[in-house]
Structure 1
Amino acid sequence: MTQISNNIYCADFLITFDIETKLLPNPYYDYPYLIIDNFLSIHDCDEINKQIKEDDDYQKAQIKTTDILISAQTNEEIRKTNIYSLSEKYLDVYTNRFLEHQALIEDYFKIALTTSTEVQVLEYLKDSFYTMHSDDSSMLYKDEQLIGFLPVAKQRKISTVLFTTSYDENISDNTFTGGELLFNFLCDKDANEVKVKPKAGTMLVFLSNPFFTHEVLKVNQGRRISLVQWHNALIN
């Protein structure tokens, strides 16, 4: 294990790879990612969840593939997710809140945000999941062994995930079990994997590069809803 912050370590093999988009935060931080509590109120989260529940206009999530050419396709053995659009009202609420936190994000990662993708509303229902992936790169394998990463979305420097439903053993319209966000190559000092149990209103911010390869574990019950964006940036 290689220490990358006060409390978090990464798999040693990552250090040996020539990762073109490698970037890590200040190693003296407690964590290499940023958690923003109360980014949205519970009321706003509940209203967004209600909108999604009543909305029939969605598409199946696709994945990028590097077979011959980089393209996108649906593959529910890798990713089983529904994608919705955020209503204009809550897009404005979200954008205003993001602008209030932008300076914090930029200072934490020592970057200057430039452009952002549209906000995607992701819905994971029972048995939905997203297998291990890096947000800016495809994973390269030889004889079933990971040998490196190929950048396919260099414009993704920062990933943000805002949860609007919560992990909770007591299932309701706005809770779920399973569905944790697992950082595959990160662990604590005792080698425990880094697994985030979503909490409504909380935003998780992390670098999009292979050090933060992650997956969404299968949802056992309920609805896991999150608002996801990717951001380009100038690196200081």
Structure 2
Amino acid sequence: MHQISNHIFCDDFIAELKLEMRLLANPYYDYPYLIIKNFFSKAICHEISEYAYNTSEGEKAKVKTRVLGSVVDPSVDESIRKTLIHKLSELHQGLYEENFKIYQPQIERFFSVALTTSTTLQALEYTKGSFYIKHSDDSNELVDAHGRTVGFVQVAPQRKITTVLFTTPHKNHSREEYSFSGGELVFNYLFDAEGKQIKLYPEAGDMIVFPSNPIYSHEVLPIKDGYRLTLVQWHNAIVN
């Protein structure tokens, strides 16, 4: 394995693979991803979760399925991704934008980038049985006849940085009304010093920030019980 931060290693396969974008955090940091604690208070997280659960009409999330020239053709494929997209209230959308401006300099320093444009904020709902298989946010995975990964082709180069804000906690931390079991965020190619795959159990208000390239391929494990809601955005950036 290749060491990419003080505590984290990546798989030899992905470390040696030729990629169109290989953005990494400073290797002298403890972790190659950034966790911002208390981006929102527990109370605001509860409000957002309650609004999505009781008020917003969700629609099925799509996946990047193929490339037509330089055009990505998204479609619903529940064998890859089973989740719903909700819209936030104007109040919560505004609060998110105000808070993001506060934390943007920290994100830019951590990854040595200057954020430029961002996608529309998505509120992603996972309920019992929902999941998202291994994927890279900026690329489609290439597999051989045996289903083994052989490479990646970049299809969304405007995605440099991914931000995921949890408004519901994993039940390891809380058993409140809006919480979940299962549904861990797993980084498929990242491991700790003991060789254990990196698996995150977030608290409500945690924002996870990481580069969108294949080194940070990830999945959401199936929800066993409860309600998982995340606010997700992808950001273009000038890479220093």
| TM superposition score normalised by structure 2 | 0.95
Deviation per residue, 1:69-121 (Å, 9 max, x gap): 63111111110001001111001111111100010000000000000011100
Contact 2:56 2:88 in 1 (8 A): no
Contact 1:163 1:200 in 2 (8 A): yes
Partner SS for 1:167: coil
Question: What is the CA distance between 1:173 and its match in structure 2?
Answer: 2.1
| TM superposition score normalised by structure 1 | 0.97
Q: How many pairs are equivalent?
A: 236
Partner SS for 1:201: coil
Partner of 2:21: 21
Partner of 1:11: 11
User: Gaps spanning 5+ residues in structure 1: where?
Assistant: none
Contact 1:136 1:153 in 2 (8 A): yes
CA distance in structure 2 between the partners assigned to 1:130 and 1:20 by the alignment: 24
Q: CA RMSD in A?
A: 1.2
Q: Which runs of 4+ in 1 moved over 6 A?
A: none
Aligned pair partner of 2:85 in 63, 67, 83: 83
Partner of 1:52: 52
Question: What is the CA distance between 1:15 and its match in structure 2?
Answer: 2.2
Aligned pair partner of 2:161 in 155, 158, 163: 158
Partner of 2:36: 36
Identity %: 49
Partner of 2:142: 140
Partner SS for 2:198: strand
CA distance in structure 1 between the partners assigned to 2:68 and 2:117 by the alignment: 29
Matches within 5 A, 1:51-70: 51-66=51-66, 70=72
CA distance in structure 2 between the partners assigned to 1:56 and 1:203 by the alignment: 22
Partner SS for 2:5: coil
Question: What is the CA distance between 1:67 and its match in structure 2?
Answer: 6.4
Question: What is the CA distance between 1:68 and its match in structure 2?
Answer: 5.8
CA distance in structure 2 between the partners assigned to 1:16 and 1:110 by the alignment: 22
User: Gaps spanning 5+ residues in structure 2: where?
Assistant: none
Partner SS for 2:39: coil
Matched letter for residue 158 of structure 2: Q
Partner of 2:226: 222
Partner SS for 2:164: strand
Contact 1:172 1:222 in 2 (8 A): no
